Structure 1
């Protein structure tokens, strides 16, 4: 028997590792992990863990977890995937690097960056479709270039 915490932890991992667009799809992924659950249970679990639907390029919507435990590092490939899918533009002004995303996606990108521990990144502030990254040094050009590279915008 799987506990609620174990199931919710697995759901958060599945949402982070897969492009989950619906609750039935999530139920299939859970079943693949040997977890039986109802759609009502999964719906409550998604609410409990703070999952949100975000629009991605092309118009589809996917589940995302905006904030993970702060001590959980985001692997570079995860950050590269998030940046590549959701960052449309990167610009710098002084020590602030501004990233533009589709509506509703900035917080997902910010969470991945905050957990990435990218050298020179002090932190992020996210709105709906724009986020600011604060560079540790007065000239944010290097951080800007690093983020452009991660987003595939060179």
Structure 2
């Protein structure tokens, strides 16, 4: 079996269920007759651009980033949901917005902000519980703050 075929099988597995670890993915692959090492799975995850997301029960699982965030309406709904669940506060200093989150939530929220592709946002940097969101200019930052206020 070549890499392309294996990646297709992994996409199918990820799309059809909640796989929360590389070990679970390896077990599912073995059920389909595909025997690979953990390091191969790790490279395949990177190649497929898989991300870890949380469901409403706060359980993490793998998702395909492009399908997870490509629908703009879904992305806006997801960010609204994430804000209500996880963002504790946010404030602006000129063209920089700083968001404070629950511990461990910042990177997931930053990924959603990046995935929604707000035209105002140049990029995000996330730690454990803090996100720095760099915006094109002060006016666009103010506009984004107003939008974020509608989410919380």
Which has the larger displacement, 87-96 or 120-129? 87-96
8 Å Cα contact 2:104-2:128 kept in structure 1: yes
Unaligned runs of 5+ in 2: none
* CA–CA distance in structure 2, aligned partners of residues 121 and 12 of structure 1: 33
* CA–CA distance in structure 1, aligned partners of residues 13 and 148 of structure 2: 25
Rg larger in 1 or in 2? 2
The answer on 1:81 being equivalent to 2:83 is no
2:91 is matched with 91
1:87 shift after superposition: 3.4
8 Å Cα contact 2:14-2:62 kept in structure 1: no
Which digits, 9 at most, give the CA deviation of each residue in 1:96-116, with x for residues without a partner?
Answer: 112223322222222222222
The structure with the largest helix share of the pair is 2
Matches for 1:90-129 after TM superposition, within 5 Å: 90-129=90-129
2:60 is matched with 62
* CA–CA distance in structure 2, aligned partners of residues 117 and 12 of structure 1: 27
**What's the Cα RMSD here?**
4.2
Unaligned runs of 5+ in 1: none
TM-score, normalised with respect to structure 1? 0.60
